[in-house]
Chain A
Amino acid sequence: MHVDATELEIFKNLFHSVAEEMGAALRRSAFSPNIKERRDYSCAVFDGSRRVAAMGDHMPVHLGSMPSSVAAAVEALDPGPGDIAMLNDPYAGGTHLPDITLVMPVMAPGSRQPVFYVANRAHHSDVGGAQPASMGLSEEIYQEGLRIPPVLLARSGRIERDVMAMLLANVRTPREREGDLTAQIAACRLGERRLTELREKYGNRKTFFYLDALQRYSAHLMSEALGRIPDGLYRAEDCLDDDGYSDRPIPLRVAIRIRGRRARVDFAGSAPACRGGVNAVLAITLSAVFYVFRCLLEEDVPACAGLMAPIEVRAPAGSVVNAQPPSAVAAGNVETSQRIVDVLLRALAQALPGRIPAASSGTMNNLSFGGIDPRTRQPFAYYETIAGGMGARPTADGLSGIHTHMTNSLNTPVEAFESAYPVRVRRYSLRSGSGGAGRFRGGDGLIREIEFLTEVRGTILSDRRRFPPYGLAGGRPGQVGKNQLILPGSDSTLPSKAGFTAPEGSILKIETPGGGGWGKPAGRKRSPKKRAPNKRGR
């Protein structure tokens, strides 16, 4: 059998649409705002040897980390027909605790081993732990929430009620969790059904042949792209503000060696894992590398394992980019992942000065809080991320008020937010002038003001409050962000990572960083918009 260009394109689309379809079903029937409104989930299809064959266009931060989940689930449990494995342990295939991943094998008659796996991961609003929404500041993983090693959530098609009960007893909003998990299970089964139909329609031989061919195809695409980067060693450094416990900056260092059609990415010299939760497990670091190199491809290809084949990643064990138990990791997924992208792009900007943008806001501005809703007297937990400015590109201004790089989650509509939680949004606007100046300007960040209508306990996990997003080629950095808790009669500025108790009537005001500028500001052409439309010439 030889690879036919037509069939290759067809199979590529088929596998991708299975992943997309799983995502749509999950989004539409889930309960957490994180899943249904913000779309913080991912669905993927794996081949029998646990290589990613296709992943929906969901969350980049899940890209490189889904395979670890499947590997961990299979090694620990070897799930069979009708089984569904569940896990969230960052040290056994997870990312951070709120991300619960389900893995299901897909069997074929005559084969004792699964021929595919499907997996989906969703960010749940709460998985227990010290802080509502499980995105608090912690010193060890045990404080961050319930840690689930690979366990069977369904066995031979039947849900394991004991396991479910154990989980639900440990979270603040059990009904919501149960609903989300039910939706995740349904999405897995949908994926299983679609893959079986596909295999039956095209036959085993052809299906598996193209499953393989897709890996070679994607590896080839990546090699081509690497081949176009000039050979050399490119180094860069950037840092996180702090870990929430001390104010020492946390440096990240990378050296990218490009040789021919291969790349080696080495994070030697990065800070050791620290006390607060900004530690990233290796899976997250892989995701960030995967993301950056995928952005260099011109083609819109589905995320296949093959894409990573020509890239080698080294991250020293025990460092902030390859954390070991029992380090706390809640912010590694959402903050450190962004900084890894920043440092990778900064290094690549030396190799490809005409293609790489200046730094984007570089933080997801994670806000979580919870309490008792006075309207229902029920506990609630809420989590959201707030967008910032995009870094300027060598050919265009950065966009304003937009999620960049490792996240693409949506905002919760104000009308949905206020209907479901005791809050009032006072302001949600662009933070004018926060983007860095340059020949091309960085995008502006956002300002979000939330008034609490009852007392809440919350946490803000953010960054770029001290060290601004860098500009490139002479462009100025973007403005740093700012967190404020406004109480009647007194304002207090919160650090980049802080827990807080906010009384009824207080307002949390978050200003997010702008993107860096690109090129010297003097080179900026006058914006045509500035000219008044009704005045002719001057």
Chain B
Amino acid sequence: MRIGVDTGGTFTDCVILKDSRIEILKVFSTPEDATEGILEGVRRLVGHGQRRRPTLIHGTTVGTNSVLERRGALVALVTTAGFEDLIEIGRQNRPRLYDLNVRRDPALVPRALRWGAKERTAADGKILTRPDAAELARLRRAVKRSRAESVAICFLFSFANSANERAVARALRDLGLPLSVSHVILPEFREYERLSTVVINAFLAPRLGQYLDRLDREAKRWFGIGRPPAGGKQQNARLQNTKLQKKKRSAPIFIMQSSGGITTAARAAREPVRTILSGPAGGVVATRWLADRLGIRRVISFDMGGTSTDVCLLDGPARTTHETTLGGLPVAVPVLDVHSVGAGGGSLARLDAGGALRVGPESSGAVPGPICYGRGGTQPAVTDAHLLLGRLDPEYFLGGEFPLDAQATQKGFEKFLRDRDGAGKVRRASRMTPLELAQGIVDVSNATMEKALRVISIERGHDPREFSLVCYGGAGGLHAAELARSLGLERVLVPQNPGTFSAMGILLSDIVKDLSQSVLLPVAFAGKQTRSSRSQKLFEKLERRFARLEQAARAELRRDQMPGGPVKVERRLDIRYAGQSYELSVPFTRRFGELFHREHEKAYGYRDTARPLEIVNLRIRLVIPTPKPRLQQGRVAGNAGGGLLVKKKAAWFGGRRHRTPFYNRDALRPGARFRGPAVVVEYSSTIVVPPGFVCRVDEYHNLVLTQHAR
């Protein structure tokens, strides 16, 4: 029995897989102590009298929020002497070009907690200076006195030779603090990005460790779980202060990583930086799974919530990136390539000094919320606009638990337009009616999201017309069809229970172990001489290095007490033309050179087969698949009719009023088919079928929206 739990700001979503049947539940999150909400959800789903031990798979925002709110551990940082300030300098650029008041958050480690070690490694891995005993003792004393709660170590070129980092780590080990060491966390080149990743890890380790300890303890108490002690003797003593990090008896709890795979709670406690985008990863995994079941290769996931929208393009398996930032700080571990924009249901509208209508990124949040929530919001938000356009049913929001105030919204829009006119700022806008303003707000937010979709598709060489949009999250259904139309997407899929789709993805995720290694190996003429003895030698050399990497990865899986079973191994190379700075990732085969040239041409419009290549990183991924549920197939009735009609009411599309039927999703049966305009309402979401679209319910209860031929 497996339970997927996704903790969000408002709701904790739970999905349980019982004998290949799925049940869902939403409970309120408990921000004080998220474990309460989780365990309540789990208990209610599992039911009393249940003897079998559930496996809990958890997507958490503890890491993300700690970094964004700068609430983490007091970290001591040891760097190569002369580079103590690198964490503050970063790449020496400013985030906004034309802002004289530009601000930068203070560094995660203050100056007083940063120490330089007298050590140095050269680019080729040669040790130039070894930290001597006195130096090690000095560092140990300094860190001990600092009262730091966590330690980060990052030396130049440690990916080429980690001896100095290991020496310092050994010297500091008995202080009993969690240690985050750069060659362990991320043995890849580019010192600032690596440093930032390691410091974030150290910043999160104590807090995430404690959180997972508590979850583990509570879970055991609630379910009487006992598992044989996880007894890896050669426990890699990197982090030690929490129980999980020490790996005592722990409940079967897995944590979602940003890469789209899960890992044990113990490993997550030691490498928390790998969990920072745990939440959005779930939705992407679920998207891939759903599309695979339907036999669709190319999909774009579209998750629109209250303040932001996350999109991710999947052409086959989900791809990860190593260039993410969080709160302005680079995070170079693999993260699913999710692109986020500040446009959601709560995004606020305003008119700027030049008379352009702007929407977001400011959001009304949960409090006060949009005007229609009637909780003090006064500025028009995207949700308000939909309400005015008649696309939301004020009486069926959240299943009717939370009626919306349409009258207040109308007044709010009128006031907004009047105020602007009064200020004499914007003549043009005053010609707008509230309805036009509402349509404008929807159009502008669509434009923002369209831009996000373009960034991940067209800008990376994909034609959006070959993709289907999988839409979930609270507000996605209101916009998906319009977006599909403006980008020419083939169709829109709205899965069952779009509100708990991310939790579903978490439940479905495989166990994943990622390891990488920077090698910076030159390749001469890989394109031409595939069979030459030189390229044969290189290939064998790479084979050997991959084998070593795989050994290390398997050893870690064993140490983590992962369930046995077949392990799938993926090997990839990050390659560039010698002299470039950005790599493209290709699978490791004998023809990797040719694959690279092809990818390069696709991405940047040219190839140069005469130019030597450089292999920057080896990447290996071990995957242990988890059991997947079978999708329940409904019988498709010959003519299932329109489903239960809730009501017919006026709604506006493209400036015209349409009498629009509203359907209840729960009553729609496979085979049902109707034309837009129409609106489908359900507990956690509303789906708009605009004129020109046809909606059908497939045998898995998904809504499928396509443009009908004229």
Interface of A toward B, CB cutoff 8 Å: 2-6, 8-10, 12-13, 17, 21, 24-25, 27-31, 33, 36-37, 39, 57, 60, 175-176, 179, 182-183, 185-187, 189-190, 194, 217-218, 220-221, 224-225, 291, 294-295, 297-301, 355-357, 386-387, 393, 395-396, 399-404, 408-411, 413-416, 418-420, 424-430, 446, 449, 529, 534
Q: Specify which chain B residues have a CB less than 8 angstroms from the CB of A28 in the assembled complex.
A: 580-582, 603-604
Who on chain B is nearest to A17 by CB?
Answer: B451
Q: List 14 A-B contacts (CB under 8 A).
A: A10-B443, A28-B581, A29-B604, A189-B605, A194-B458, A221-B353, A299-B353, A299-B354, A408-B93, A408-B97, A410-B91, A413-B189, A428-B89, A429-B83
* Interchain CB contact under 8 A, B191 and A8: no
Which of B234-242, B355-363, B618-626 lines the interface with chain A? Answer: B355-363
Name the residue of chain B whose CB is nearest to the CB of A189: B605
Residue B467 interfacial (CB < 8 Å): no
Are the C-beta atoms of A416 and B604 separated by less than 8 Å? no
Contact B357–A9 (Cβ < 8 Å): yes
The smallest beta-carbon distance between A448 and chain B, in angstroms, is: 10
**B444 and A10 contact, CB distance less than 8 A:** yes
Q: Is B423 an interface residue (CB 8 A)?
A: no
Q: Which of A183, A393, A425, A446 contacts B100 (CB 8 A)?
A: A393
Chain B min CB distance to A422 (Å)? 10
Which residues on the B side are within 8 Å of A396 (C-beta)?
101, 103
Contact A411 B91 (CB under 8 A): yes
Chain A residue numbers with a CB within 8 Å of B99 are 295
By the criterion CB–CB under 8 Å, are B83 and A8 in contact? no
User: Does B227 touch A at the CB level, under 8 Å?
Assistant: no
Which of B83, B85, B355, B577 sits near A5, CB closer than 8 Å?
Answer: B355
Q: Check A5–B440 contact: CB distance below 8 A.
A: yes
Chain B nearest Cβ from A337, distance in angstroms: 14
The 8 A CB mask of B49-86 against A (1 = contact, 0 = none) is 00000000000000000000000000000000011111
CA distance A483 to B284 in the complex (A): 52
Q: Which B residues from 88 to 117 make CB contacts under 8 A with A?
A: 88-89, 91-94, 96-104, 110
Please give me the 3 A-B residue pairs with the lowest Cβ-Cβ distance, nearest first: A427-B82, A186-B605, A36-B581
Closest chain B residue to A225 by CB distance? B353
Please report the C-alpha to C-alpha distance between residue A3 and residue B427 in the assembled complex, in whole angstroms: 11
CA distance A221 to B454 in the complex (A): 28
Please determine whether B92 and A10 come into contact, CB atoms closer than 8 angstroms.
Answer: no
8 extra interface residue pairs, beta carbon distance < 8 Å, beyond A2-B428, A403-B92, A429-B84:
A8-B357, A10-B447, A28-B582, A31-B577, A39-B93, A176-B579, A221-B353, A401-B85
Which B residues touch A413, using CB under 8 A? 189-193
- What interface size band does chain B fall in? 35 or more
Supposing A179-B577, A446-B89 touch, asked if A418 and B428 sit within 8 A by C-beta, the answer is: no
- Pairwise interchain contact B92-A411, C-beta atoms closer than 8 A: yes
| Option from B102, B156, B357, B603 in Cβ contact (under 8 Å) with A415 | B156
Please pick, from A5, A189, A402, the residue contacting B357 in the complex, using a CB distance under 8 A: A5
Collect the chain B residues with CB atoms within 8 Å of residue A176's CB.
Answer: 579
Contact with A6, one of B88, B89, B443 (Cβ below 8 angstroms): B443
Q: Mark B108-151, 1 if CB is under 8 A from A, else 0.
A: 00100000000000110000000000000000000000010000
Residues of the B chain whose Cβ atoms lie less than 8 Å from the Cβ of A10: 443-444, 447
- Give the nearest-CB partner of B432 in chain A: A5
Contacts of B355 in A (CB 8 A): 3, 5, 8, 217, 220
Contact yes or no, B582 A221, CB < 8 A: no
Whether a CB of chain A sits under 8 angstroms from the CB of B600 is yes
Q: Which residue of A lies closest to B188 (CB)?
A: A415
Contact partners of B85 in chain A: CB under 8 A = 401, 428-430
Cross-chain contact A25 with B604 (CB below 8 angstroms):
yes
> In the complex the two chains form, is A415's CB within 8 Å of B157's CB?
yes
- Cα A145 to Cα B428 in complex, Å, equals 52
CA distance A182 to B455 in the complex (A): 23
Residue B351 CB within 8 A of the other chain: yes
Report the minimum CB–CB distance from B697 to chain A (whole Å). Answer: 32
Known contacts A9-B444, A17-B451, A183-B604; is A387 also within 8 Å of B92 by CB?
yes
B353–A414 touching, CB < 8 Å: no
Tell me if B395 counts as interface (CB < 8 A to partner A).
Answer: no
Of chain A, the residue at the smallest CB distance from B192 is: A413
Smallest CB separation, B454 vs chain A (Å): 7
A36 to B440, CA, bound (A): 39
Which listed residue (A9, A357, A401, A426) contacts B89, Cβ 8 A? A401
Does B558 lie at the interface of the complex (its beta carbon under 8 Å from any beta carbon of A)? Answer: no
Cβ contact of B428, chosen from A3, A408, A427, cutoff 8 A:
A3
Whether B92 contacts A402 by the Cβ 8 Å rule is yes
Question: Contacts A29-B606, A300-B98, A418-B123 known; A37 to B581 CB distance under 8 Å?
Answer: yes
Within 8 A of A (CB), among B595-629: 600, 603-606, 608, 611
User: A123 to nearest B CB, angstroms?
Assistant: 15
Most buried by B among A183, A393, A396, A402: A402
Distance A217 CA – B355 CA, assembled complex (angstroms): 8
| A297/B98 in contact, CB under 8 A | yes
Closest chain A residue to B91, Cβ basis: A410
Interfacial chain B residues near A291, Cβ < 8 Å: 98
Q: Is the CB of B93 within 8 A of A402?
A: yes
A419 to B157, CA, bound (A): 10
Q: A182-B606, A401-B85, A424-B122 are in contact. Are A410 and B92 (CB under 8 A)?
A: yes
Q: How far is the CA of A429 from the CA of B604 in the complex (A)?
A: 36
Centre residue among A12, A24, A297, A414 by max chain B CB count within 10 A: A414
A130 shortest CB reach to chain B, Å: 25
A9 and B606 contact, Cβ closer than 8 Å, known pairs A28-B582, A355-B100, A411-B91: no
A27 in contact with B93 given A396-B101, A413-B190, A427-B83 (CB within 8 Å): no
The answer to whether A5 and B98 touch across the interface, beta carbons within 8 angstroms, is no
| Min CB–CB distance B160 → chain A (angstroms) | 9
List chain B residues, Cβ under 8 A from A31.
Answer: 577, 579-580
A410 surroundings in chain B (CB, below 8 A): 91-93
Q: Which residues between 345 and 369 of chain B lie within 8 Å of chain A, taking CB atoms?
A: 351-358
Query: With A and B bound together, what is the CA distance between A400 and B107 in angstroms?
Result: 12
B481 to chain A, nearest CB (A): 18
A408 to B611, alpha carbons, bound, how many Å? Answer: 30
- Residues of B contacting A355 with CB < 8 Å? 100
B520 proximal to A (CB < 8 A): yes
In the complex the two chains form, is B580's CB within 8 Å of A57's CB?
no
A135 CB, nearest partner CB in chain B, Å: 18
Give A446 to B353 CA distance when docked, in angstroms: 39
Q: Which residues of A contact B193 (CB under 8 A)?
A: 413
A399 to B90, CA, bound (A): 12
- Chain B residues lying within 8 Å of A179, measured Cβ to Cβ, are 577, 579-580, 608, 611
Q: Which residues of B contact A409 (CB under 8 A)?
A: 93
